[in-house]
Amino acid sequence: MCRLLGYVANRPTSLADFAGPNFNEFVKLSEVHKDSWGLCLVDGATAKLQKQVEVAASSDSFAKVATDQSASGGLLHFRWASPGIEVNDLNAHPFSYQDIGFIHNGALSPYDALLPEISDEFLSLRKGNGDSELFFLFALTKIGQLGFVPGVLDAIRSIKKSYEYSSINSMFLNSDFLIVVSEHHPDNRPSWTEPNYYEVRYRLDSSGCLVASSGWSQEGWTLMPNHSALIVDRKSMNGELISL
């Protein structure tokens, strides 16, 4: 299980600046979600990926990246590894391809359930042994067939219809859109967590959109309903909330 944060802004900004003064509360969540941190920044045609197998809250490298590097969009992930999936940089999130970044919170069952659905082109990109990477490669297969937004939505709806999972809460970012998915089974959350563990909230205004997992101060943010997706156009900063 993991913590997710994503943003798109109308100008390049650091993650810490755009997230605001409560960002340290989010970083503190990495003391539990401690198996790695990863940041994917997307500007233009490329995704810049940085990740380390260490606790973000005590990492000098993370503090420097979060405050010193600027972009108009990014995805941040703190990993708490699912049982049986190795803790290493290959399984650490985010995953990226060209200008697309991806992060996930939850687990599919079995972990390799999506393997037969992935095209050879994208299966050849596999580096780790986790379900989240296969989720991403499955989404890339659909994106290759349908385009970015339709492909992501078709991938999510296909998983929802045909596969077992605790949560497929996820974020997809490319040079044009941020797509955030709230799709989970609350009763399948880890036993020690609060009932709202899988909830996702966002703030959206003319400066951009910030969206994140629960567990820190999000006063005034909008709760995404379960079984929904938020699609934010990076050019206009208009957001559309749709049912899945």
pLDDT digit string, tens, across residues 4-39: 999 999 999 999 999 999 999 999 999 999 999 999
Question: Which structural domains are found in the chain, ordered by start?
Answer: 2-243 (3.60.20.10)
Residues in the chain: 244
pLDDT digit string, tens, across residues 60-100: 999 999 999 999 999 999 999 999 999 999 999 999 999 99
Pick from 132, 226, 243: nearest CA to 185: 226
The pLDDT score that the predictor gives to residue 45 is: 82
Q: How confident is the model at residue 51 (pLDDT cuts 50, 70, 90)?
A: very high
Question: How many CB atoms are closer than 10 A to CB 219?
Answer: 7
The pLDDT score that the predictor gives to residue 56 is: 98
* Token code pair at residue 134: 């296969």
The pLDDT score that the predictor gives to residue 195 is: 84
- Res. 50: pLDDT tops 80: yes
Torsion of CA 164, 169, 175, 177, to 10 degrees: 100
Sheet of 70-79: strand order equals 46-52, 36-43, 70-79, 2-14, 208-213, 200-205, 222-223
- Res. 52: pLDDT tops 90: yes
Q: What is the DSSP letter of 92?
A: P
**Residue 85 phi/psi, 5° resolution?**
-105, 125
The pLDDT score that the predictor gives to residue 230 is: 98
Contact 210, 218 (CB under 8 A): no
129: three-class secondary structure by DSSP: coil
Contact 88, 128 (CB under 8 A): yes
State the chain's mean pLDDT as an integer: 96
State pTM to two decimals: 0.97
- Res. 191: pLDDT tops 90: no
pLDDT digit string, tens, across residues 139-166: 999 999 999 999 999 999 999 999 999 9
Which of 130-134's residues contact partners 24+ apart within 8 Å by CB, and which partners? 130/82, 130/85, 130/86, 130/91, 131/82, 131/85, 131/107, 132/91, 132/93, 132/95, 132/104, 133/91, 133/95, 134/108
**What are the Cα distances from residue 124, in Å, to 85, 143, 193, 225?**
19, 16, 36, 35
Pick from 209, 221, 145, 134: nearest CA to 179: 209
- Cα torsion 225, 57, 47, 85: sign: negative
- Res. 123: pLDDT tops 80: yes
The pLDDT score that the predictor gives to residue 146 is: 98
The pLDDT score that the predictor gives to residue 202 is: 98
Strand pairing category for 70-79 and 36-43? antiparallel
